[in-house]
Chain A
Amino acid sequence: AAGVIQSPRHLIKEKRETATLKCYPIPRHDTVYWYQQGPGQDPQFLISFYEKMQSDKGSIPDRFSAQQFSDYHSELNMSSLELGDSALYFCASSPTVGAGTGETQYFGPGTRLLVL
């Protein structure tokens, strides 16, 4: 079965550079979530999109932005990178979110970002 695809899988950037992470949800999933997981930490919710509109916002820095496109894939844009941005960035997708419907989120393999 098709899973969530993330690219790139690994990314090395220097401080103050920009990075773009991509997420391709499971077919027919219209909701995408982004999470950041620092070394030895729990995943932290960043932002989510439903039908190309932002549906919820978590602890996403102002330096980051994201969007969901007409084909439902999503991109996380990160600017002015800092050392502390080094983390594993997960994307998850689910079918129509509803209001607390509890749809299972299916996670991608993650993009490991290293900022030097």
Chain B
Amino acid sequence: KNQVEQSPQSLIILEGKNCTLQCNYTVSPFSNLRWYKQDTGRGPVSLTIMTFSENTKSNGRYTATLDADTKQSSLHITASQLSDSASYICVVSLTGGGNKLTFGTGTQLKVEL
């Protein structure tokens, strides 16, 4: 069983609409949680990074939230654009894990006109 589960697996929305992606993790002990955007065939690009003491972090139209008690995180995308079409990956880092990352299953987002 994957230690970082994401939902939905895929999502199609219209341009200009908002959406929220979910991430549940069981990785422990938890150090920090990141959201990455990955275009097909490209390297993941970091969007946000949060430690266990942070509840929210914003980066432009991207806002990530974290509930360390329930081990859940969400990524909210506001006013979506066609260029937001990509895979969004939730990634968790272990405490003392030397910054080794555990990648989630990803959500494939498609923004259409």
Contact of B98 among A90, A99, A107, A110 (CB under 8 A): A99
Question: Which A residue's beta carbon lies closest to that of B99?
Answer: A97
**Inside 8 A of B98's CB, which chain A residues have their CB?**
48, 50, 55-56, 97, 99-100
Distance A43 CA – B90 CA, assembled complex (angstroms):
12
Chain A: interface size category: 20 to 34
A-B pairs with beta carbons under 8 Å apart, 8 shown:
A33-B99, A42-B104, A45-B100, A48-B100, A90-B44, A100-B94, A100-B95, A110-B42
Q: Which of A72-116 contact B (CB under 8 A)?
A: 88, 90, 92, 94, 97-110, 112
Binds A, one of B12-20, B45-53, B65-73: B45-53
Distance A72 CA – B25 CA, assembled complex (angstroms):
33
**Inside 8 A of B42's CB, which chain A residues have their CB?**
109-110
Judge whether B43 and A102 touch: CB under 8 Å: no
Known: A42-B103, A42-B104, A45-B101. A100 touches B96 (CB 8 A): yes
A8 at the interface (CB under 8 A from B): no
**Inside 8 A of A109's CB, which chain B residues have their CB?**
42-43
Using CB atoms and an 8 Å cutoff, list the residues of chain B in contact with chain A.
2, 31-32, 34, 36, 41-46, 49, 51, 89, 93-106
**5 nearest A-B residue pairs (beta carbon):** A107-B43, A102-B32, A42-B103, A56-B98, A100-B31
A31 at the interface (CB under 8 A from B): yes
**Inside 8 A of B43's CB, which chain A residues have their CB?**
4, 90, 92, 107-110
Judge whether A104 and B49 touch: CB under 8 Å: yes
Known: A100-B31, A102-B51. A56 touches B105 (CB 8 A): no
Judge whether A105 and B41 touch: CB under 8 Å: no
Judge whether A103 and B99 touch: CB under 8 Å: yes
Distance A107 CA – B46 CA, assembled complex (angstroms):
9
**Inside 8 A of A98's CB, which chain B residues have their CB?**
99
